[in-house]
Amino acid sequence: MQALATVENVRLVAQSPGLEPEKVRIAVTLPTFRRPEQVLETIRSVAAQNTERGFALIVMENDAERHAGADAAATLFENGTVNGLLIVAEERGNCSAYNAGWSTALAAFAELTHVLVIDDDEIAGPDWLETMVATAERLGADIVGGPQVPMFEGTGNEHWAGHPVFAPPYRETRAVEALYSSGNLLVSRRVLDAMERPFLEPAFNFMGGGDSDFLSRAARKGFRLAWCAEAPVMETIPTRRLESDWIRARSLRNGVISTLVEKRKRAGDPLGSMRVAAKSLALLAAAPPRSLLSLARTGSLTIGAYPIYVALGRVLAEFGYANEQYRQAEKN
Q: For the domain bounded by 2-239, which CATH number is listed?
A: 3.90.550.10
What was the pLDDT predicted at 182? 93
Tell me the three state secondary structure of residue 184: strand
What was the pLDDT predicted at 328? 67
Closest among 210, 217, 304 to 257, alpha carbons compared: 210
Q: Rounded to the nearest 10 degrees, what angle do helices 210-220 and 244-265 cross at?
A: 30
What was the pLDDT predicted at 330? 60
Q: How distant, in Å, are the alpha carbons of 89, 108, 130, 134, 321 from that of 53?
A: 27, 17, 8, 11, 45
Q: How distant, in Å, are the alpha carbons of 33, 61, 64, 264, 281 from that of 88?
A: 10, 5, 6, 30, 43
Q: Over the stretch 205-263, which tens digit does the pLDDT of each residue have?
A: 988 899 999 999 999 999 999 999 999 999 999 999 999 999 999 999 999 999 888 88
What was the pLDDT predicted at 295? 85
What was the pLDDT predicted at 167? 94
- DSSP state letter for 5: G
What was the pLDDT predicted at 299? 87
- For the chain, which residues make up each domain, given as ranges? 2-239, 244-331
pLDDT (tens place) for every residue of the chain, 332 residues total: 666 767 888 999 999 998 999 999 999 999 999 999 999 999 999 999 999 999 999 999 999 999 999 999 999 999 999 999 999 999 999 999 999 999 999 999 999 999 999 999 999 999 999 999 999 999 999 999 999 999 999 888 998 999 999 999 999 999 999 999 999 999 999 999 999 999 999 999 988 899 999 999 999 999 999 999 999 999 999 999 999 999 999 999 999 999 888 888 887 778 778 888 888 888 889 989 999 998 899 888 999 999 999 999 989 988 888 777 676 666 66
